[in-house]
A and B are shown apart, each in its own frame.
Chain A
């Protein structure tokens, strides 16, 4: 049996029993990356760097070390800075940038023994929902190469869906882990804001950005998230509370090993179903698949609770004020001086900066910088930015009110399945509306998951979104794991 589409749990067993070495897995992954070049998933592969990491993992295995991620090939979204591999953030601005340090997430996964296959394509500075905004070309969805893989972690989702690697890293500012996971039929989790260090993630919107894993299963995501999470003094928003420091993997393992009655495995669970997630605009096939998934929990004894998240629609304008505002501030560091593109022609310092920025940034990034500059400008700051932050609090409070009635919230990840490349790229607002079910979770800083739950008539994947309260990742992952034991959507490709 080939190693394609095997989970981390399955591969780790093969590594542990010496059926396969880290080097063999790395070579296999590199060959698959090469064979899948038409998907445009990878932005930088360096076989020497990968094989050196694999050799180090094999040495640790030979020395008797065992851990779930030791020798497992992964790949990183090109938002995480890496020593050795270029970090472009999908932008011409950083086309040749090589970081002198590793992001904390990269460092932690390396320490856990994972072997990096390289850097994955994404929307420029993670700004996009389709991966068409990359300066290095669109990524293709492995389910249908004429379609988008979702975004902004589109390369990360497509790499797992294509069976190149069993897992990848991604980031989620407004849905960028969950939406591409849904559109590529894989599992992903955005953790509670502050769980995972942002140090070394190229910043887009600092109060929203959060890293997370993408893999085939919830179990694999639990292994990865446990390795990625933890307090980091280099990120001022990294959380150091007891809840934040609790082991995700231990709680996950306890949950999945606890005995539950057959046909009553979800009897303890109250699932909130927000009416606003099933309103007009939701594709009928998506609605049917998500309802069928929720019904699986109900048949297992879960209690369904009708809830309301009344400001769901307002999450779009609130997000598209706050995120561009923070982006315009974060991206002001790109001035052609210390790193990034410098224009060849200029007359003075000011024209050097503006020419460099104009040549280096793509259209969507410029649009968001201008939006951000406007809402932060004198006379508009209160009316736009502070008003959006006030609405943000109301949205977060709506979720807290909902969690008084339920343990988890479930609904669709996205209103539709993957659309055709180019179909929505000329209409920014049409693209923004696609984020309606994921933005509220990001604004509230809550953990959110995408779990495969069906296919539409074109055989395109559909994702179930599971939303938990703060620090409830272990429960979300373990209930998703039980769901995946009862269903077979993981093997639908």
Chain B
């Protein structure tokens, strides 16, 4: 797999990143080298092997636990304090609808 500047630009767009034009070539080279490593996975015979997400599922049946569906006490002031813009206890974003 190799990545040219156009492929990197498209990927960056999907990931909500703007990359400076003069960095696209280097990023493409880096990604091509990384996928040179990653592509060795394709040769592995995994027929009949189920994907493993939680590692302990190797040895036991797992049920991920969810806490009770009740609101936890939240420090509203502390949470809002980290936002760049707030108003009346709400997070502000640029206007979406004119």
Residue numbers of A with Cβ under 8 A of B are 96-101, 192-194, 207, 233-234, 236-241, 311, 313-314, 316-318, 320-321, 328, 332, 335-340, 342, 346, 348-350, 352-355, 357-358, 361, 366-367, 369-371, 373-375, 377, 383-384, 386-394, 396-397, 400, 427-429, 432, 443-446, 470
Say yes or no for B4: interface residue by CB 8 A criterion.
no
A-B CB contact pairs (8 Å), 8 listed = A99-B78, A207-B54, A236-B67, A357-B17, A366-B17, A384-B41, A394-B49, A445-B58
In the complex, A396 Cα to B57 Cα: how many Å?
10
CA–CA, A367 to B30, complex, Å?
8
Would you call A387 and B46 a contact (CB within 8 A)? yes
- Shortest Cβ gap from B15 to chain A (Å): 4
B19 at the interface (CB under 8 A from A): yes
Q: How far is the CA of A369 from the CA of B16 in the complex (A)?
A: 10
Which residue on A lies nearest to B49, using beta carbons?
A390
B14 → A minimal CB distance (Å)? 5
Q: With A349-B94, A387-B41 in contact, do A207 and B55 touch (Cβ < 8 Å)?
A: yes
Q: How far is the CA of A193 from the CA of B30 in the complex (A)?
A: 31
Instruction: Please measure, in the bound complex, the distance between the C-alpha atom of A393 and the C-alpha atom of B65, giving whole angstroms.
Output: 22
The answer to whether B58 touches A444, judged by C-beta atoms less than 8 angstroms apart, is yes
B38 adjacent to A320 (CB under 8 Å): yes
Q: Give bound CA distance, A314 to B82, whole Å.
A: 41
Q: A207-B55, A317-B38, A321-B41 are in contact. Are A373 and B84 (CB under 8 A)?
A: no
Could you say which residues of chain B place their CB within 8 Å of the CB of A313? 40
Minimal Cβ-Cβ distance residue in A for B43: A314
CB of A358 within 8 A of CB of B18, answer yes
Lowest 6 A-B CB distances belong to which pairs?
A445-B55, A100-B78, A389-B51, A100-B75, A393-B52, A390-B46
Q: Is the CB of A342 within 8 A of B84?
A: yes
Taking a contact as CB atoms under 8 Å apart, the answer to whether B16 and A357 are in contact is: yes
Alpha-carbon separation in the docked complex, A368 to B7 (Å): 15
Where the two chains meet, the residues of B that have a C-beta atom closer than 8 Å to any C-beta of A are 8, 11-12, 14-19, 27, 30-31, 33-42, 44, 46, 49-56, 58-60, 64-68, 72, 74-75, 77-79, 81-85, 91, 93-94, 96
Count CB-based A-B contacts (< 8 Å): 178
Residues in B neighbouring A374, C-beta threshold 8 A: 11, 31
Task: Tell whether A236 pairs with B94 under 8 Å between CB atoms, given A354-B17, A393-B52, A444-B58.
Answer: no
Contacts of A354 in B (CB 8 A): 16-18
CA distance A361 to B91 in the complex (A): 22
Known: A98-B78, A99-B78. 15 other contacts (CB 8 A): A100-B77, A100-B81, A236-B67, A317-B40, A357-B17, A366-B17, A370-B8, A370-B12, A370-B17, A389-B51, A393-B49, A396-B55, A429-B33, A444-B55, A470-B56
Q: A366 touching B83 by the CB < 8 A rule?
A: no
- A371 near B34 with CB under 8 A, answer yes
A346:B94 contact, CB within 8 angstroms: yes
Nearest Cβ on chain B to A205's Cβ, whole angstroms: 12
Q: Min CB distance, A240 to chain B, in Å?
A: 6
CB distance from B27 to the nearest CB of A (A): 7
Q: Are B15 and A369 touching (Cβ within 8 A)?
A: yes
Instruction: Say yes or no: A100 contacts B11, CB within 8 Å.
Output: no
CB-CB < 8 A to A369: which residues of B?
15, 17
Instruction: Decide: A317 near B55, CB < 8 A? Known: A355-B18, A369-B17, A428-B34.
Output: no
Give chain B residues whose Cβ lies under 8 Å from the Cβ of A318: 41
Q: Are B37 and A193 in contact, with the CB atoms below 8 A?
A: no
Q: CA A99 – CA B11 in complex, angstroms?
A: 32
* Inter-chain contacts of B52 with A (CB < 8 A): 389-390, 392-393, 396
A348 and B37 form a contact (CB under 8 A): no
CB neighbours (8 Å) of A346 from chain B are 94
Report if A391-B18 is in contact (Cβ < 8 Å); known contacts: A317-B37, A371-B31. no
Whether the pair A389, B53 counts as a contact (CB closer than 8 A) is yes
Q: Which residues of B contact A238 (CB under 8 A)?
A: 65
With the chains together, A394 CA to B75 CA distance in Å?
A: 44
Cα(A384)–Cα(B41), bound, Å: 8
What is the distance, in angstroms, from B8's C-beta to the closest C-beta of chain A?
Answer: 7
Contacts of B19 in A (CB 8 A): 358, 366
* Given contact pairs A192-B56, A370-B27, A429 touches B50 in the complex (Cβ within 8 A): no
Q: Which residue of A lies closest to B1 (CB)?
A: A374
